[in-house]
Amino acid sequence: MRSTISIIQMNEQLHLENSFWSWRKFVLLLFLFLFVFCFKELGFQFTNHSPGSQPWKTAGKFFSAALNPSFTDQNPSLPADATSFLNRLGTNLLNTLRYAFIAMSLAVPAGLLLGLISSRSWWKDHSSRANLSLPLKLTFGFFFTVIRFFTTFIRSIHELIWVLLFFSMIGDSPLAACIAIALPFAGTLAKVFSEIIDEQDDTASNHMLYSGAHSLQIFLSTRFTQALPDLITYSFYRLECAVRASAVLGFVGIETIGLSIKQSFQNLYYGEVWTALYLLIITIVIFDIIGRAIRKRLNIAPTSDLASEVDSVRALERNAPSWPLLKWIAISLGFTSILAWFVGPELNTYHSHLTRWERTQQFFKDIIPEPVKDSGNFVDAIPWASDLWTAYGAEALFSTLIIATMALLLAALFSYMIVPWASRTIANHHPFRTPSPYNKMTKLHQFGWSLVGHFTRFVFIVSRSIPEYILAYLLLSILGVGVWPLVLALALHNFGILGRLWGEIIENNNQVTAKHIHLNSGSRLQAYGFGILPASSNRQLLYIFYRWETCIRESTVLGMLGISSLGYYIHIESANFRYDAMVFYILLGTIVIFISDLLSVFLRAKLKDAG
């Protein structure tokens, strides 16, 4: 009897394992279908140049300037006492960093608070463990939903759109721009923080509970403490993103490095453009290096060879193993954040004939749809919204989705092919941490592999260092006005980001199987393909969904450069002070982000379940 049951169970198991359809296959097929569909919609016209123009000559000039960046003003007609180019560039770079720090000093506390109270474990600790009554549990559930909705809402609108909204509402000022960056960043931080907290092992918190601790104590002293290294690491990564976002502020008139790039490019001073781009890349690379150092230090416990003869608490504390560099980085970051608020030009500048309060009141009046303003009946907004939707909304939305999807698929395709060679466990002289006696390589061979690794990582970091908005601006000018430059800019930026995220997955994956294959004369590619890829491919796919939602937000704002995605209409309506229509298009984008978020959560859950 027993053997019969085992055979049936085994057959069922085999049937499941051999099932042709899996979520992974479904997702891959979906990608293929979307790729073909998007290509068909976008067409094959990659450039769009007006007759008589000499685009390739311009492109040649631009790219040849990469080898000859300018350190002095290229404008020959500047007066002798004008601020020098390098001085202007340096000031704009400092402004970029300053606004990034100010934005993060607002976003991190807000994101932390929202992240804590929007984590599932927070509500679990406070409702189920505290044996609350049903009405209280329902109230908790209601608050949980409201907070989650709020965090999704603030992050679903891109920082540049928030900038437009804040400028319209309270006037143009660096402070308004910083708040505009802080708001979606707080939402993103809250989302990721809550996920990090929820993913923590709950054995320690359970133990605290059975020692008689309160739910708040348990939450703060165990879950939060356990999550702290990941929270810090992610916050630092967001600081790097904030620097990029701050650079883009130059395109809406705030004096950051983006403004230098824009002005130099418009004046055809390509040498200056490249100097600014190099400076931006170097800044981002420095942030990346510091971020990696922080991550490494936080994840590995410091050790010490100190003899155990010390017999007083103070001596033990003094001689405890620690990473002094980490302490200094933390102090420097805190100090810089405070300095950023108080040192430098006025943040809260305001130039308008209206007072700020009058302006805000006017803005809130203006966002009420025109027909509703006349009749006072909100039902009249329906035909108004319907007209906007049929006139431009539907097409702009479709265009936004196509740009985002195509860019992400292109980024994923190229990144997927290259990423193994960026991994520190593959592209080096002892792959998969194989002991060196097994790798009898010449010095040249070793150097070659090391070079491959460094070069690939360099390509990834450079491509993600330049914000997609700046890339799109440059590509539009070179390739002509069309959708493809936006797709390529977004693809290039996401190629770098996926490369970094996937590279980390490969490095963090268990290397035992790959090492075994490699020791049995398997090539690096075989070891990667059969030893690492099967276990990590689902996690790699998960990141595509994470990025999809971000790409939709980004493709929305790229429209502000003059291509008919949602951002184009948001920009046009804002410029014409038709704030009701502007808000309509913003909300349209928000709804799509909400839907893509839900879809992404669903598909990620399916892929996670599939292992």
Residues at the interface with other proteins (CB under 8 A):
131, 203-204, 206-214, 216-218, 220-222, 225-226, 228-229, 298, 301-304, 306, 308, 310-311, 313, 316-317, 320-321
Smallest distance from other proteins to CB 200, Å: 10
* Residue 456 contacts residue 421 (beta carbons within 8 Å): yes
List helix spans (H) across 419-562: 443-465, 468-479, 484-508, 512-519, 524-531, 533-558
Any residues with CB less than 8 A from the CB of 399 and at least 6 apart, and which? 483, 559, 563, 564, 565, 566
Smallest distance from other proteins to CB 234, Å: 15
Smallest distance from other proteins to CB 383, Å: 55
The b/e string for 188-204 (b: 16+ C-beta within 10 A; e otherwise) is: bbbbbbbbbbbebebee
Nearer to other proteins, 306 or 325 (CB): 306
Smallest distance from other proteins to CB 10, Å: 24
Smallest distance from other proteins to CB 323, Å: 10
Nearer to other proteins, 314 or 353 (CB): 314
- Indicate left, alpha or beta for 136 from its phi (over 0: left) and psi (-120 to 50: alpha): alpha
Smallest distance from other proteins to CB 206, Å: 7
Smallest distance from other proteins to CB 503, Å: 24
Nearer to other proteins, 206 or 386 (CB): 206
Smallest distance from other proteins to CB 146, Å: 24
Nearer to other proteins, 137 or 454 (CB): 137
Any residues with CB less than 8 A from the CB of 224 and at least 6 apart, and which? 116, 197
Nearer to other proteins, 221 or 428 (CB): 221
* Residue 183 contacts residue 164 (beta carbons within 8 Å): no
**β-sheet bridge partners, residue 480:** 48
Nearer to other proteins, 14 or 315 (CB): 315
Please list the helix, strand and coil fractions of the chain in percent, rounded to the nearest 5, in that order. 80, 0, 20
Name residue, tokens 């049903």: 134
Query: For residue 428, what is the DSSP state?
Result: S
Nearer to other proteins, 209 or 533 (CB): 209
User: How many Cα atoms occupy the beta-carbon half-sphere of 205 within 13 Å?
Assistant: 26
Smallest distance from other proteins to CB 231, Å: 11
Smallest distance from other proteins to CB 120, Å: 20
* Residue 541 contacts residue 505 (beta carbons within 8 Å): no
SS3 541: helix
In whole angstroms, give the CA distance from residue 442 to residue 300: 32
Could you tell me which of 193, 188, 229, 194 has the C-alpha nearest to residue 103? 188
Query: CA 454, 456, 461 angle in degrees (round to 5)?
Result: 90
Smallest distance from other proteins to CB 225, Å: 6
DSSP string, 167-220: HHHH-S-HHHHHHHHHHHHHHHHHHHHHHHHHTS--HHHHHHHTTT--HHHHII
Nearer to other proteins, 67 or 307 (CB): 307
From residue 232, give the alpha-carbon distance in Å to each of 212, 341, 433. Answer: 30, 21, 28
In whole angstroms, give the CA distance from residue 556 to residue 577: 19
* Residue 139 contacts residue 171 (beta carbons within 8 Å): no
Nearer to other proteins, 70 or 222 (CB): 222
Nearer to other proteins, 309 or 374 (CB): 309
In whole angstroms, give the CA distance from residue 597 to residue 561: 26
Any residues with CB less than 8 A from the CB of 507 and at least 6 apart, and which? 423, 424, 425
Smallest distance from other proteins to CB 122, Å: 14
Nearer to other proteins, 301 or 379 (CB): 301
From residue 454, give the alpha-carbon distance in Å to each of 422, 491, 496. Answer: 7, 22, 14
Could you tell me which of 275, 269, 291, 258 has the C-alpha nearest to residue 468? 258
From residue 151, give the alpha-carbon distance in Å to each of 111, 156, 531, 599. Answer: 9, 8, 39, 17
Smallest distance from other proteins to CB 211, Å: 4
Smallest distance from other proteins to CB 235, Å: 16
Nearer to other proteins, 48 or 226 (CB): 226
